[in-house]
Chain A
Amino acid sequence: NAGVTQTPKFQVLKTGQSMTLQCAQDMNHEYMSWYRQDPGMGLRLIHYSVGAGITDQGEVPNGYNVSRSTTEDFPLRLLSAAPSQTSVYFCASSFLGARITEAFFGQGTRLTVV
């Protein structure tokens, strides 16, 4: 049981480049989310999804896109990378409703934009 898997673990981008951070979970969780972690700021929600085909914005969505075509996958796309997007990104998933659980986190992706 792999849990939540994020790839890549590290990435360096040049300003203006685009890329996709991958997130996959094998627990059949309906709820998936992306957070960014910056020093002294805690974790801030970027986008989330309550099921396949349903996504919504969180606290800091600008510059990021998401889609949820399957229950398992929730990729995060950076459209045109900026130095302000240098951060550590975490994907998380959980059950909601009657089977509600805590959020399970991936290992994180450390992104540097130069």
Chain B
Amino acid sequence: AQSVSQHNHHVILSEAASLELGCNYSYGGTVNLFWYVQYPGQHLQLLLKYFSGDPLVKGIKGFEAEFIKSKFSFNLRKPSVQWSDTAEYFCAVRQGRGSTLGRLYFGRGTQLTVWP
């Protein structure tokens, strides 16, 4: 079964610092990749997604992610974080075909705290 690893459980940054959150998955083949964000007390919202095409994906709020197929990675980046980016971030992977089509596999999440 697919497994998703997020390398950092808690990241603490000052405003304007750059951010990179790591995400690796275990099983190759055709995959759909996602980053979701969860603000305190709220539901999951999509930051960005990769289905196919350009491996550099741009999302909302200045976030971007790069899909590196050879490394099974989909790292999230933002050049300059803001206090309002304080949230929990989840990487998720979905098999593009096969018996588990549709099923999302989530990482354990990274809590980002940004100090003003």
**A interface vs B, CB < 8 Å?**
31, 33, 35, 40-45, 48, 50, 58, 90, 92, 94, 96, 100, 102-103, 105-108
Contact = CB atoms under 8 A, between A and B. Distances in A.
**Which secondary structure characterizes the binding site on chain A?**
strand
Nearest to B90: A42
Given A31-B102, A33-B103, A40 B9 contact: yes
Interface in B66-116: 90, 92, 101-104, 106-109
B108 A42 contact: yes
Interface of B: 4, 9, 32, 34, 36, 42-46, 49, 51, 90, 92, 101-104, 106-109
Nearest to A110: B41
B29 to A, nearest CB: 15
B43 A108 contact: yes
A90 B106 contact: no
Given A105-B44, A107-B43, A48 B103 contact: yes
Given A43-B90, A106-B43, 15 more contacts: A33-B102, A33-B103, A40-B9, A40-B108, A42-B4, A42-B108, A48-B102, A50-B102, A90-B43, A92-B104, A96-B102, A100-B51, A102-B34, A102-B46, A105-B45
B104 to A, nearest CB: 6
B4 to A, nearest CB: 8
Contacts of B43: 90, 105-108
Contact of B107 (A35, A42, A107): A42
A42 B44 CA distance: 11
A58 B108 contact: no
B51 A45 contact: no
Nearest to A104: B46
